[in-house]
Amino acid sequence: MKQLPYQCGIDAAIDVVDGKWKVLILWVLNEGARRFGETKRLLPGISEKVLAQQLRELEADGIVHREAYDQVPPKVEYSLTEQGRSLNAALAPLGAWGNERLARLAAEEAPAA
């Protein structure tokens, strides 16, 4: 049996979503197919180079589908695959935990009445 380079399932999952932008790209694409420019506008701070690279990596991992339409001007849309939707569902509890943390931090920062 071939030895995989991962120690556990978390290791394999983190390999797919590693980096600052991939999870945010998944979040943006969760609403449906989006064009490159629209995706970039929804992710302030990401460069075109990084977005293109991250989308290519997510496509190579089977998380994102790239659909190129044969028209002028060229049109390309990105959407989540079934694996991408499944990954987003798996990340939902992490997002809920993050929201709870934000609320707790905000409560700690609020001045006492």
Specify the residue for token string 């609320």.
103
What pLDDT sits at residue 3?
Answer: 58
Across 41-79, b (16+ Cβ under 10 Å) vs e yields eebeebeeeebeebbebbeebebbbeeeeeeeeeeebbb
pLDDT digits (tens, 9 = 90+) for 4-51: 788 888 888 888 888 889 999 999 999 999 999 999 999 999 999 999
pLDDT digits (tens, 9 = 90+) for 59-87: 999 999 999 999 988 899 999 999 999 99
pLDDT of 2 above 80: no
With beta carbons less than 8 A apart as the criterion, state whether 39 and 28 touch: yes
88 Cβ neighbours under 8 A, 6+ residues apart:
26, 27, 30, 80
The token duo for 13 is 């999952």
Tell me how far the alpha carbon of residue 1 is from its chain's centroid.
32
Total-model pTM: 0.83
